[in-house]
Every structure is written in structure tokens, then in C-alpha cells.
Amino acid sequence: MHSWPTPSVPDVAGTPVALSLHDTADQRIRPVTPGATAGMYVCGITPYDSTHLGHAATYLTFDLVYRQLLANGTAVHYVQNITDVDDPLFERAERDGVDWRDLGTSQIDLFRSDMETLRVLPPQDYIGAIETIDEVIDLVQRLLDNGAAYVVDDAEHPDVYASVNATENFGYESNYDRETMAELFAERGGDPDRPGKRDPLDALLWRARRDGEPSWDSPFGPGRPGWHIECSAIATNRLGTSFDIQGGGSDLMFPHHEFSAAHAEAGHGVDRMAGHYVHAGMIALDGVKMSKSLGNLVFVSKLTAAGHEPDAIRLGVFASHYRQDRDWSEEILAAAEKRLATWRRALAAAGTTTTATDLIQQVRERLADDLDTPGALQVVDEWAAATSPEGGGDPTAAQLIVDGLDGLLGVRLR
Ligand code: 5CA
Ligand code: ZN
């Protein structure tokens, strides 16, 4: 699948500050330690009802990660999937009387155009499940071969499941106890009551063909990929069996990221798929999580069509910390627009190049500390408040600020 165009990323003044991020598995903030190139996999959309502010906030979070790594001179290999074969997509297509492939294509197009408008750095590999059925089949076969998976005893629907106890450290990513896992598994697409499973928590790897559902041939019969294995295969085939960052919203901590990691680890014989498991909090509207199933959505395309600038949407999202569950509202957007205008006015009296470099260095420091965007925005607010309207400005200083804030935050002051 083709990605979207890459926005320009200017050089950033100041000196690198090593990036630290919160890791869900270790439950603490610690340095990201990539080689020359960092490998980052971020779970992509299931293409319907996109792109809402919740999706956008999550992808903007990883855009910040990408930007901090680039500003530190680290190249990034970024991979993102598209869950374009899955039950929720089929259900929506059925409800609306459209072909699921057409629904997927139109929603992927919309997502790409929203990401481009928001100037989100694109993944080099943007990969649909549809394109990688053979990769999933290979990984399922490995799991079957090494005893980590089994076929249920059901001649009509011989589904393939992964044994939850195939890896010793299962549960290390979410740190949930068995009871919480059972609850979330049932809530988020799992099938604990499927007869023939050895353990209620065993996750579906390959769903045998059902009438009216798409299917592909495989050595274990016609069917289609389960959800978690899709991300295991797409990520490890491009980034290697262990890579630096696995990302997504916090609703993916369990079961999705726990099982994606476990399938990859059991299949490839590694201890830990990702160095950091990074999760963005949920965006809510009036206190209720924005979700496709509830329909309480604010669409990026509607905001931009109404004339709201992408830079203001970014500042609205960055006004609070990415790990917090938080509200989106018109007030937040209005405050972001006001802040953007203040910063732009301040540019005319930017100060000296030393002030500018100091400012950008402080922004680097805030963002390197687990993406402390509220702290970074405050630093710029303080600079803007300290500029005097008659102060005049050094154009070189102004340019350093424009480039620095664009490079680090993707926010353009002009
Ligand atoms: N296709 C799967 C991942 S493999 C999926 O979760 N798709 S999604 O379309 O439902 O969500 C896409 C991304 O947006 C995921 O990272 C998800 O965690 C995130 N997301 C969904 N809703 C919200 C929300 N309200 N706030 C923040 N992030 C959200
Ligand atoms: Zn995923």
C-alpha cells in the first residue's frame, strides 16, 4: 500500500538530548537506545470511521517520537499496518450495503489525506493485512510446527489458536493479572467461550472459512488471519525479530500488544519483541472515549474543512500529556488557536540567536523527557511573553525558532 507524502523537516538548532519514553512493560520511563536506525512499529487503523481526533492524537504522538529521533540524528524505520481484513470492517460494510474492500479503500484514502494535512511523517512501509496473508501463513505454520499453536477439533471450522502458555513470560507487556486479562479479552474481540480451545485466553491465529466471509488458501485450510498475528508478522518481517518501539493507543495494551508480542516471540524464539511498548491515552468527548462503536466522533477532515489549521490541531493535542486519557473540545481548539497566534506575533520580536537557540534547546529537553509537550509549550509561552512588541527581531533568530518548532513539534509559525 502506498503511504502519504513526506513533509519537509527542517534542521533543528541546539544539541541532541537522548529520548526517554515510558515503557508499559517495565512501567517506567527509560532511554530509547536504538542503533543508527530505530525500528518503530505503530498499529494502524481499521479502515472505517477514520480519521477521528483519537486516531489523530495517537499518530501525532508517534510523529513526535519520530521527530525527536530525527533531531538527534537517528534514522527511523517506521512501519504501520492497516487492518483491512477484520470483523468490524465487514460488519460496517454489511450495515451500509457496500463492499468491504471499497469501504476500506475509501477510508484509507481519507486517512492518508488527513495524515498529509496534519503533516505527520509517513511510515516507509504502510502495509495492509490483505497484502501479507502469506506472511501470516508462514508465521502460523512456525507456531504450529513448534507446538505453540493447535487446530481446534472442529471438522467444519478448524480454526487455529495460539497457546497462551507458549511463552514463559506471557503477561509481561500489560502486567495484568489473569482476571483482568479475561475481562479485557472478552471485551476487545476475544472469544473465551469458543468450544475446543485449551484455554479461554488462547488467541485466534487463523479463522477457518465461514460462509459470506473472504478467505485465502493455506496449508491448514482456507480462512483468514486473526488480528494479533497480523501485526506480529508485518512488524518482524520488516524490522527484525526485536525492534525498538511498538506503539498504539492504550486500548491496545491488552490483548492486542500482549499477543502480538507473544506470537512473534514464540514464532521466532526471542524473549522480547519490542524494547519499548509505548501507549497513548484515550481521547474522549465530554468524558466518554471517542470510539467508532459509540459514534461520538470528531473528524479531522471536518475540522480542517471548517478552516481550522493543522498547526492548531497539533497544539490542541499537545496541550496535555500523551499518556493521559483526555478530553477534546472546542475550547481546547480555540485555546490552541490563540496560542498559535501569540507565538506568531512574538516572532516579529524574536530576540537574539542565543535566545532562540536556548529556547529550542529547552524544547528539545522537555520533549526528550517522555514527550513532555505541556512543558515544551510552556517554555515557548514564556519566550513569547518575554518578547516585547517594539523589540524588533533578528531574522536569523526568528528562522531558528520557526525551524526548531517545525522540526520538533511539526508546528509552523509561518
Ligand atoms: N487496526 C487496529 C490496530 S492493529 C486498531 O486498533 N485500529 S483503530 O482504527 O481502532 O485504531 C487506530 C489507532 O488509534 C490505535 O492505535 C488505537 O489505539 C487508536 N485509538 C482509537 N481510538 C482512540 C481514542 N479515542 N483516543 C486515542 N487513540 C485512539
Ligand atoms: Zn496492531
CA nearest neighbour of 311 among 363, 377, 359: 377
Q: What is the CA radius of gyration of the chain?
A: 23
Q: Whose CA is nearest to atom 28 of ligand 1?
A: 54
Ligand nearest to the CA of 189: 1
Give the H/E segment covering residue 278. strand 274-280
Q: What's the pLDDT at 224?
A: 98
> CA 95, CA 134: separation in Å to the nearest integer?
29
CA of 44 to the centre of ligand 2 (A): 6
Q: Please work out whether the CB of residue 252 comes within 6 Å of at least one atom of ligand 1.
A: yes
Nearest atom, ligand 1, residue 227 CA: 4
What does the pLDDT read at residue 270?
A: 97
Tens-of-pLDDT digits for all 414 residues of the chain?
Answer: 999 999 999 999 999 999 999 999 999 999 999 999 999 999 999 999 889 999 999 999 999 999 999 999 999 999 999 999 999 999 999 999 999 999 999 999 999 999 999 999 999 999 999 999 999 999 999 999 999 999 999 999 999 999 999 999 999 999 999 999 999 999 999 999 999 999 999 999 999 999 989 999 999 999 999 999 999 999 999 999 999 999 999 999 999 999 999 999 999 999 999 999 999 999 999 888 888 788 889 999 999 999 999 999 999 999 999 999 999 999 999 999 999 999 999 998 888 999 999 999 999 999 999 999 999 999 999 999 998 766 667 899 999 999 999 999 999 999
Residue 344 Cα to ligand 1 midpoint, Å, equals 33
Going from the Cα of 129 to the center of ligand 1, the distance in angstroms, rounded, reads 16
Q: Is the shortest distance between the CB of 44 and ligand 1 below 6 Å?
A: yes
> Look-up: residue for cell 506480529?
232
Strand partners, 80: 42, 126
CA of 397 relative to ligand 2 center, distance in Å: 42
255 lines ligand 1 (CB under 6 A): no
Query: Measured from the CB, is residue 373 less than 6 Å from ligand 1?
Result: no
- Ion ligand 2 residues within 5 Å by Cβ: 43, 231
Residue 254 · residue 178 · CB < 8 Å:
no
Evaluate: CB of 56 within 6 angstroms of ligand 1. Answer: no
**Contact, 360 vs 408, CB < 8 A?**
yes
Query: Which atom of ligand 1 is found nearest the CA of 47?
Result: 9
Q: Which helix (H) or strand (E) holds 225?
A: strand 223-225
Give me 241's grid cell: 525479530
User: Ligand 1: does its nearest atom lie under 6 Å from the Cβ of 47?
Assistant: no
| Ligand 1 pocket check for 262: Cβ under 6 Å | no
Q: How far is the CA of 55 from the centre of ligand 1 (A)?
A: 6
Least distant ligand from the CA of 264: 2
Q: Nine-digit cell at 127?
A: 502495509
Q: Is any atom of ligand 1 closer than 6 Å to the C-beta of 57?
A: yes
Closest residue (by CA) to atom 23 of ligand 1? Answer: 54
CB 379 within 8 A of CB 364: no
Give the residues across from 281 on adjacent strands: none
Contact criterion met (CB below 8 Å) for 159 and 206: yes
State in Å, rounded, how far the first CA of the chain is from the last one.
32
Task: Give the separation between CA 87 and CA 92, rounded to whole angstroms.
Answer: 9
How many Å lie between the centroid of ligand 1 and the Cα of residue 186? 18
| Predicted pLDDT of residue 348 | 87
Q: Probe ligand 1: pick from 187, 188, 251, 286, max atoms within 8 Å of CB?
A: 251
Q: Which of 24, 43, 132, 296 to mutate to test the pocket of ligand 1 (most atoms within 8 A of CB)?
A: 43
